[in-house]
Structures are given as structure tokens and as C-alpha cells.
């Protein structure tokens, strides 16, 4: 029964996340929302909705390790697995300055979470700080977008068109986009409940810690929307979409999801996640910056290296 719950949860999370992103992009297109809000807020937050719902559900159920492990594991998977798969399918060009800016923002957010390990708990005060930091970043990004050159706006408009082509049909009506968002949210809520229930039960029956389950199975499951986006964007040759989605998702995972969850229920910062996995997450963010900065691309060899690192991380987790 637990396996059925987990499989059902993963399926609902995948299709729920896909429906939410497609509907959100469709609404943004119809309302004429800026490129920044579409790519960073709508897509970044939309693909992070599974993590948010799983974290809130886990925190309310008293499973802090599952909630924290989900975010930390998702960020590690986004960097090593999602970017690895995308780069292996098609080398990714990282020529835009906004990518470097977002990469630095993810490093700062990851360092903030690592610093919280010394306080042993993420409470409502830390949650407020995280959400304020996210608002400050979004405002700064918006101001920078407003001052962008005409050429950059033209390039961003092209990316926006490609994302819209991949994620939603241009002829979709406003009503259909809203329905997609509603159905996506319902599927995400149900999927989060199923996944948390099934994963927690398996963890108890096999003696596997909830931290490991959250860092691996649950994290991978909630990263499926990002993986789907990466595959589609790689096929279409839109590497900026993949990198922007991953960086935006990682930023939202830490500042928005943990911040929101901490406002609802305090999260304990102890055990292997605080001592080991958070630092792996920070290391992955730091490692990504020179790859982008120096080569201005992520080639297939580097993508394969990312996948190897992720496979080694998962293997070490289960044998340690």
C-alpha cells in the first residue's frame, strides 16, 4: 500500500507541477506580465510548488527531517542531476550576466541556510528573514530588468516565447489556463499527502531515517517538474531556460519554501542533514559558479561529471 501511495504521489506531483507551470505561463502571457516575472517567479516558483506542499505537510505532521531533507536534497538534485541531464543531452551556454547574478544569489542563500545549522532550529524569525531576503532579491532583479537595454529585452522576449511554446499552447484561452492552475494545485496537494505518508511509513518499517528518505526519494520526486523542463528545453536548445529554472528553483526552495514552512511550524536543524548534507548543497552551489564563470557553458563532459557526483552522493547516503 505504501508503494502505491508513493507512486501515486509522484505521478500526481509530476502532472500537477506540469499543469501549474503551463497554466501559469498561459495566464502570464494573456495578462502581459514581464519576462522576469514569467521566468523567475512563475516558472521558478511553479516548479517549486511540490517542495512547498511536501514541506508544509511534513512539518505539520512533525517530520522536520523529511521537510528539510526535501529542500536540501532537491537543491542538490537540481544542480547535479537536472543540470547534468540537460548538459549531457545538449551543452548549455551560460553567456548572460543574469545567470551569474542568480548563481551568486543561490550561493548566498545556501550559505544562509548553512549558518542556521549553528542555531539548531529554523523558527518564525528566521522564516521572516528568508522571505524578506527573497522580496529584496526580486525587487532588485525587477529594477535591473527595467534598466535592461533594448537588445537584452529583445533576447528575453525570445526566451519568453520559447518557454511559452514549450509549456503551454499559445491558443489556450485565459479560462483554460486558470483551470490548468487549479487542477495542478489540487494534484500537487494530493500528491504531497500521498508521498509524505508513503515515504514516512516505509522509513519506519525498514529502519531508514526520514532524513535519507527526504534527501533522496522525496527530493527526487518533487524535482520531477524541473527534470521535465530540462528535457524539453534541451530538446529545443534553450539552455538559458534550464539554468534559469534550476537557479530560480534553488533560490525559492531555500528562501520561500523553508521561510514559509518555518512560519507555520519550526524546523529542527540537527543530525546528518545539518552536519553533512547542507554543506554538500552549499558546495554544489559554489562549484557551479566557476563552471559558469570560466567556461560560460556546461559541456557534456561536465554534465557527465555532475551525474557521477550525484550517483556517488546517493550511493554514499544509503551505505553510510
Instruction: Give tens-digit pLDDT for 147-173.
Output: 655 455 555 555 445 544 544 444 557
Looking at residue 305, what is its pLDDT? 95
Kind and range of the H or E element at 319? helix 300-319
Mean pLDDT of 104-110: 95
Q: Is the pLDDT of residue 233 over 60?
A: yes
Q: Say which residues have a Cβ less than 8 Å from residue 255's Cβ, sequence separation at least 6.
A: 109, 130, 131, 133, 134, 137
Q: Is the pLDDT of residue 35 over 80?
A: no
Distance between CA atoms of residues 277 and 296, nearest Å? 28
Of 232, 283, 275, nearest in space to 110 by CA:
283
In the 8-state DSSP scheme, what is residue 219? Answer: H
Better pLDDT: 148 or 245: 245
Looking at residue 309, what is its pLDDT? 96
Would you say 41 and 162 are in contact if contact means Cβ atoms under 8 Å apart?
Answer: no
Mean pLDDT of 216-240: 72
pLDDT single digits (tens) 192-211:
678 767 876 777 787 777 78
Distance between CA atoms of residues 298 and 291, nearest Å? 7
Looking at residue 304, what is its pLDDT? 95
Would you say 222 and 13 are in contact if contact means Cβ atoms under 8 Å apart?
Answer: yes
User: Which CB contacts under 8 angstroms, 24+ apart, belong to 112-116?
Assistant: 112/254, 113/72, 113/254, 113/258, 113/278, 113/281, 113/282, 114/278, 114/279, 114/281, 114/282, 116/269
Better pLDDT: 38 or 185: 185
Domains and CATH numbers, the chain: 2-319 (1.20.1420.30)
Amino acid at each position: 500500500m505504501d508503494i502505491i501511495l508513493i507512486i501515486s504521489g509522484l505521478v500526481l506531483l509530476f502532472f500537477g507541477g506540469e499543469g501549474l507551470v503551463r497554466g501559469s505561463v498561459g495566464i502570464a502571457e494573456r495578462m502581459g506580465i514581464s519576462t522576469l516575472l514569467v521566468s523567475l517567479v512563475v516558472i521558478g516558483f511553479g516548479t517549486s510548488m511540490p517542495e512547498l506542499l511536501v514541506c508544509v505537510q511534513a512539518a505539520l505532521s512533525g517530520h522536520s527531517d523529511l521537510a528539510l531533507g526535501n529542500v536540501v536534497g532537491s537543491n542538490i538534485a537540481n544542480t547535479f542531476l537536472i543540470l547534468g541531464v540537460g548538459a549531457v543531452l545538449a551543452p548549455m551556454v551560460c553567456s548572460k550576466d543574469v545567470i551569474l547574478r542568480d548563481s551568486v544569489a543561490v550561493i548566498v542563500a545556501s550559505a544562509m541556510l548553512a549558518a542556521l545549522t549553528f542555531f539548531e532550529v529554523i523558527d518564525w524569525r528566521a522564516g521572516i528573514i528568508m522571505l524578506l531576503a527573497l522580496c529584496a532579491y526580486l525587487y532588485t532583479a525587477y529594477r535591473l530588468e527595467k534598466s535592461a537595454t533594448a537588445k537584452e529585452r529583445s533576447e528575453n522576449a525570445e526566451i519568453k516565447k520559447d518557454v511559452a511554446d514549450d509549456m503551454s499552447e499559445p491558443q489556450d484561452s485565459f479560462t483554460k489556463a486558470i483551470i490548468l492552475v487549479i487542477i495542478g494545485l489540487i494534484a500537487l496537494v494530493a500528491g504531497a499527502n500521498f508521498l509524505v505518508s508513503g515515504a514516512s511509513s516505509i522509513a519506519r518499517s525498514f529502519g531508514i531515517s526520514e532524513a535519507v528518505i527526504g534527501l533522496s526519494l522525496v527530493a527526487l520526486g518533487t524535482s520531477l517538474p524541473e527534470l521535465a523542463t530540462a528535457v524539453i528545453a534541451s530538446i529545443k536548445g534553450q539552455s538559458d531556460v534550464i539554468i534559469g529554472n534550476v537557479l530560480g528553483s534553488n533560490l525559492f526552495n531555500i528562501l520561500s519554501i523553508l521561510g514559509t514552512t518555518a512560519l507555520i511550524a519550526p524546523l529542527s536543524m540537527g543530525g546528518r542533514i545539518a552536519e553533512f548534507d547542507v554543506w554538500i548543497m552549499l558546495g554544489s552551489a559554489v562549484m557551479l559558479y566557476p563552471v559558469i564563470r570560466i567556461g560560460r557553458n556546461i559541456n557534456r563532459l561536465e554534465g557527465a561529471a555532475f551525474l557521477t557526483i550525484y550517483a556517488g552522493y546517493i550511493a554514499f547516503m544509503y551505505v553510510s
